A and B are shown apart, each in its own frame.
Chain A
């Protein structure tokens, strides 16, 4: 999917690499494909159920900017358009996609530059997809972004912007999951936040999600709290746009996901940690994709390491045996890790 079709036959050019397959995105490619694509790549290689996607590289963005930001070149249009049509071919239908900016520098930058990174939900058809990719690019070099970056002394040449084009899961419920407690670092807990509709409502902090803290060893719910979910983002019936719909009182008072889904998420957390390591921050959705048969399924949309620090006590020194540990505790009135 490197978009060679449409290059003038008489002048076979080097593959400009405007588009790459998400599966091939490795951590060392982060500068070209962005952190989100690296996370998605690891999910795909781990065999997870992930909505299909491709990545428009930072290289494409740089060429676009250095050409004066005067529209997409034919090579870009072909590369992106062909990749989109390949997604459609897989489903045998015109698919609706999400088009998202993906920072190629630290992930946290995305949060601190919030607003300059863009997500468009519900693009369909080649022209709309191309338009939304370009809008992501434009958002990235708007004046305030430039000055912000200048202030942070980040050289423009070193960064770029990747864009992910991904099938949109028509989520009935979606949210985030931490495979350990994000604040205390407690590894025995899996923390799930969930709301109705597309996950943007949770990720963007638009609603107070339902919360589940699940003990991963016993599978029992350690704590849960019903959220406030006055609206949801859903795909329109024609599948071509996203609507924001009110949630009626009855559903607001109900849990957005049931016990079975909580358990499925717990299983997903275990599975992801086994393959990708500990301490993951996961975006997930339960829903279906246009052209996909059968019941709604659980999709992993995104995964990244939890970055927040944890307050775990240091391991005892190698020379402290268990008896020594106990004697130390009994000998001191103020133990170092006195439990609450």
Chain B
């Protein structure tokens, strides 16, 4: 809209998309913009959390942002006492999640918090490796307890054991308490998620800023390459696929994997031979945990993990088998990667004067020390734990279907977790009464209504930001995790001013190189089937499990993400130019447009519109 003006649309001026009337009823009122806080909220910046929730929020999935709201922000505000930051607020607009950071402007308050912060944070840095080892143990224990949770349909009658064991309580009571334990487990994992994250990002950001201070032209990508771990867990799922592809060729069963048939059909074919069964055994051996690998950010139940939907890993296997057969070595050249990392770091350090070089060494060493947490927590938390968490919700959904209250297992995702308490009570009550109740009609109709609203919300394009941005954005989590800084704000303002019809737009340059090609706009992992080799992927956010695609595309452009996002890491791994955090890519670009993606500068240029190219092809 307003070119040159330093504000976005007010969140209070956003219209409800047609068909989505009443969307507010799906969400708790404390997450909605409200007239009581209007004066304050209108003067703040609210940015769309495309990185974690690119889709409208399912009411049940709100468990994720609602738990990170308390865990991350408690760490910022109450545990670490960051001297200049308070928590990041949430609001939902037309089903989409918007965030707003808060800073402490009062110097007295900052000064009071500072000694507490310094003492506590230093303790973590000073004991980092031990704390991290213990963190892994806690995370694995939390996952094991989640796995052990079972939701089972209420039996026709209470088992005899209840009586003979003099239990006193019943399976219906167990269902309720198990549900509480289940939510608590998610909450617990959210705390572990953020236990070390603020400090990790702080260490990384400090090194990044140091490098930029001395080498203003240094790219974020270059800094990431100096710091990134070589042998990290986040790469394991893909590494396992590469290994399995090589094994399939060794065992002579590559043909079945290359057939392009559905995973079930491929598995059936493999079962027919000894070699095939051998390969399937080896596949089974790595599935837990490495196939607990979400195709999304881990914050949306609809993005299934490989273990639940084998199409993405099987598509990757088909590609990898072909490459192994052509004589390619798919294993990651760890030694070469290590050498490159040292060569880059040494090259920059040698350009610094003595004192600066010592500071560089110290900051680099700390950034590298914290980085395994940054990379690996993602697998433990978002992929492994959260994939199981959503599957357990489906189990609970089946219980409610069996109780006659819902139509389908995944209806449960249209209910907020506190509404599920109510449904569980009603299930318990029906079970107790042994006669029909109104509940089944109420909840089934409500879910059907919400499904219609959700479909309408999906068609809405959330703007990257709302409200009034501050003069500068330097809060560490906002900058590092969400990839939002003063430049991002300026780009979004410019894009909004230009109404998104410009010939080029910019994002963060996250992986170097320049590529030209035809755009393919992909919003869901399922749409990846339509992608043609050599196209440029334009998506809301790439997830690492889209890795099959990275072997085939010329470049990647994502609306969200930052230098630390999965997309950035995988693009660098595949040596593809990539631009992240454009905010507008999927809105401005259409499939078929010709693009130039400059991963050095972060600029994406629309060279030719799809319509023009088509008209010409038609013989105009």
Contact = CB atoms under 8 A, between A and B. Distances in A.
Interface in B29-53: none
Contacts of B126: 323
Contacts of B209: 329, 335, 337-339
Interface in A302-338: 312-313, 315-316, 318, 320-323, 325-327, 329-335, 337-338
Per DSSP, chain A at the interface is loop
A61 B476 CA distance: 64
B213 interface: yes
A338 B216 contact: no
Interface of A: 181, 184, 186-189, 213, 215-218, 220, 222-223, 312-313, 315-316, 318, 320-323, 325-327, 329-335, 337-340
9 contacts: A215-B217, A216-B351, A312-B213, A316-B359, A323-B366, A327-B125, A329-B476, A331-B84, A333-B474
Interface string B317-354: 00000000000000000000000000110011001110
B584 interface: no
B619 interface: no
Per DSSP, chain B at the interface is helix
A186 B351 CA distance: 9
Interface in B59-94: 82-85
Contact of A326 (B110, B125, B212): B125
B41 to A, nearest CB: 21
Interface stretch (B115-123, B245-253, B585-593): B115-123
Interface string B194-205: 000011001101
Interface residues of B, number: 53
Contacts of A325: 206, 210, 359, 362-363
Contacts of A321: 362
B217 A213 contact: yes
Contacts, number: 125
A322 B216 contact: no
B446 interface: no
B117 A335 contact: no
Contacts of B353: 315
Given A326-B202, A337-B213, A331 B114 contact: yes
Given A186-B216, A326-B125, A326-B363, A220 B512 contact: yes
A330 B121 CA distance: 10
A331 B83 contact: yes
A223 B487 CA distance: 20
A322 B365 contact: yes
A187 B126 CA distance: 33
A102 B126 CA distance: 59
A267 B408 CA distance: 68
B217 A186 contact: yes
Contacts of B216: 181, 184, 186, 340
Given A331-B83, A334-B472, A339-B208, 5 more contacts: A188-B351, A325-B359, A325-B362, A331-B117, A337-B210
B213 A313 contact: yes
Contact of B117 (A312, A315, A316, A327): A327
A316 B361 CA distance: 13
B600 A222 contact: yes
A327 B118 contact: yes
Interface in B357-398: 359, 362-363, 365-366
A196 to B, nearest CB: 26
A222 B348 CA distance: 15
The 4 closest A-B pairs by CB, nearest first: A322-B362, A217-B347, A339-B212, A337-B213
B603 to A, nearest CB: 12
Contacts of B82: 330-331
Contacts of B512: 220
A218 B344 contact: yes
A313 B360 CA distance: 13
Contacts of B601: 223
B214 interface: yes
B215 interface: yes
A212 B118 CA distance: 45
A252 B600 CA distance: 25
B174 to A, nearest CB: 45
A340 B489 CA distance: 12
A163 to B, nearest CB: 37
Contacts of A339: 208-209, 212-213
A20 B347 CA distance: 40
Given A217-B347, A339-B208, A322 B363 contact: yes
Determine which residue in B205, B343, B601 has the highest number of CB atoms from chain A within 10 A of its CB, and name it: B205
Nearest to B118: A327
A186 B202 contact: no
Contacts of B351: 187-188, 216-217
Contacts of A323: 122, 125-126, 366
A322 B359 contact: yes
Nearest to B213: A337
Contacts of A188: 215, 217-218, 347-348, 351
B475 interface: yes
